[in-house]
A and B are shown apart, each in its own frame.
Chain A
Amino acid sequence: QKEVEQDPGPLSVPEGAIVSLNCTYSNSAFQYFMWYRQYSRKGPELLMYTYSSGNKEDGRFTAQVDKSSKYISLFIRDSQPSDSATYLCAMESGGGADGLTFGKGTHLIIQP
């Protein structure tokens, strides 16, 4: 199975809040986990990726993977209005033959 579940939102939070975005998946073969950000009327762009379980931090963004629960998260600290976008999780297995499976995306709104 390739299904990836992601709440579409919209998720609206005040500026400065900590944002938590999540995806769940069912395919235990997934090993690479990515977050793409898509601004309105633009193509997605890679924000972060992690391999297997664990955390990865990049500035205000932290990606977290829990393979035992088949659950991934993206945390945004000190959220800014410029973070308003749709966030897509994506994942793939190690072989790469199946390509990426995307979640449907969560629409995030940061209120000034």
Chain B
Amino acid sequence: EAQVTQNPRYLITVTGKKLTVTCSQNMNHEYMSWYRQDPGLGLRQIYYSMNVEVTDKGDVPEGYKVSRKEKRNFPLILESPSPNQTSLYFCASSLRGDRLPPTGELFFGEGSRLTVL
């Protein structure tokens, strides 16, 4: 089954304790992205990757790191989480093509709900 898999789905942590949210896709998509979704603010892009070893900042990159060493994986790293990073996080990968918008058709994971105390 084609899917984007995120782990963990739920996490409660404390300020300053490094954590990684993993993301893996099995569709051979080149484009991958991380979003956070907050009430009243909607979906905002954190980082994206056009291909292996190519990453770039989105709209809200502060406090986050990413890496893209393999095509299928795009982990999100919070080196020193703070309470304002409490949010619902989505990883997405994209099928791109001539008959699609430039970003393509985004396939989202089921989300990772993070609480930082």
Contacts and interface: CB of A to CB of B under 8 A. Distances in A.
Interface of A: 2, 6, 8, 32, 34, 36, 41-46, 49, 51, 88, 92-96, 99-100, 102-105
Interface residues of B, number: 24
Contact of A92 (B33, B44, B58, B102): B102
B43 A102 contact: yes
Interface stretch (B11-19, B75-83, B103-111): B103-111
B110 A32 contact: no
B66 interface: no
Contact of A88 (B4, B43, B107): B43
Contact of B111 (A6, A8, A41, A88): A41
Nearest to A42: B110
Given A32-B102, A43-B4, A92-B101, A99 B110 contact: no
Contact of B108 (A6, A43, A92): A43
Contacts of B111: 41-43
A13 B90 CA distance: 29
